[in-house]
Amino acid sequence: MKFWVGVTDKNWFEFLRVRRPDEVNFWQPTPLPVAAFLEPGVPFLFKLHSPHNFIVGGGFFVRFSALPALLAWEAFGEKNGVSDYQALKYRIQQFRNAEIRGDPEIGCNVLNAPFFFADKDWIPVPEDWARNIVRGKTYDTAENAGLKLWNHVEGRLGHLVQAGMVAGHAARYGAEYLARARLGQGAFRILVTDAYQRRCAVTGERTLPVLEAAHIKPYADTGPHVVSNGLLLRSDLHTLFDRGYLTVTEELRVEVSRRIKEEFENGHDYYAHHGHRLVVMPESPAERPALDLLRWHNQTVFLD
């Protein structure tokens, strides 16, 4: 098994360790992936900047996405490891060592089920860790250094699971991990955004700041954080969908409620989409809207 050890800031680690979130954004100041081999479910460990040469925790990789910093903040909030958006921009500027104008694009490594070791359980970096490593390094359990390191991590992780401080993790990767893991709200938003190629499913709108990941069945009603329970919608359409003025049928056609006209004496722009098929769909059949969830929305939420 290959896994990644990423270099991070001690302040980022300490900020998150006390909060024990269900997911984190291991962000980087430049929008470039750290490693091509990473797929959902692969371990992604945290190594602190020198002189703190220790492995101090980790998580399980979900997705890399290059995003505007504001969208990263809206998706993950304090799970970015900072207290607010201005603090995030300030940290990006520090790492880039250059003045930032507007909303910078950053690299976002979305990690699920993060774990944070107590100081006494920090693991010294392997002997082959070079001082000039800036971003991180790949290890493989098929090699001695990687196997030794992962055995240390697995032992500590097992204690955290027993203590109820972190959820157990099954060794599944790729699409199977995304289908089985308990993902967070931030991961859901990024996965849905990327699955719909950053375009509104109804209109094809590409303006990213106004696009939102809508749950077909809300999480509060036991709807899962999986792509097949999501639609990427323009913000006004998301509002109408959640309130029942718009739905998507099992034939993947948009249906607009007559109640918009009755209640608001308006809605011409929305009725223009009535009866039309979705214009954007995920490429993977497994990520397309689940028919049973669409049926639930049609029968339970839609204002007929």
Average pLDDT, the chain: 94
From the number of C-beta atoms within 10 Å of its C-beta (0-12, 13-18, 19+), residue 73 rates as: buried
Per-residue pLDDT tens digits for 117-146? 999 999 999 999 998 999 999 999 999 999
Per-residue pLDDT tens digits for 93-123? 999 988 888 999 999 999 999 999 999 999 9
CATH number belonging to domain 2-176: 2.30.130.30
pLDDT above 70: residue 264: yes
Indicate the SS3 state at residue 165.
coil
Which residues make Cβ contacts (< 8 Å) with residue 114, sequence separation at least 6?
Answer: 16, 21, 22, 23, 24, 57, 58, 59, 166
Closest alpha carbon to 115 in 164, 77, 70: 164
Q: Residue 266: which pLDDT band, with cuts at 50, 70 and 90?
A: very high
Closest alpha carbon to 80 in 11, 3, 174, 166: 11
Per-residue pLDDT tens digits for 204-257? 999 999 999 999 999 999 999 999 999 999 999 999 999 999 999 999 999 999
pLDDT above 70: residue 74: yes
Share of the chain above pLDDT 90, in %: 87
Task: Give phi and psi for 109, each to the nearest 5.
Answer: -100, 105
DSSP string, 87-134: HHHHHHHHHHTS---S--EEEEEEEEEEEE--GGG-EEPPTT--TT-S
Two tokens, residue 1? 């098994």
Alpha helices in the chain (DSSP H): 10-17, 69-76, 85-96, 144-162, 175-180, 185-195, 235-243, 259-264, 268-271, 291-300
Strand pairing report for 23-28 and 105-116 = antiparallel
Q: Residue 275: which pLDDT band, with cuts at 50, 70 and 90?
A: very high
Q: Give residue 54's pLDDT.
A: 98
Q: Which residues pair with 48 in a beta bridge?
A: 8
Q: Give residue 185's pLDDT.
A: 97
Provide the residue ranges of all domains of the chain, joining segments of one domain with +: 2-176, 196-300
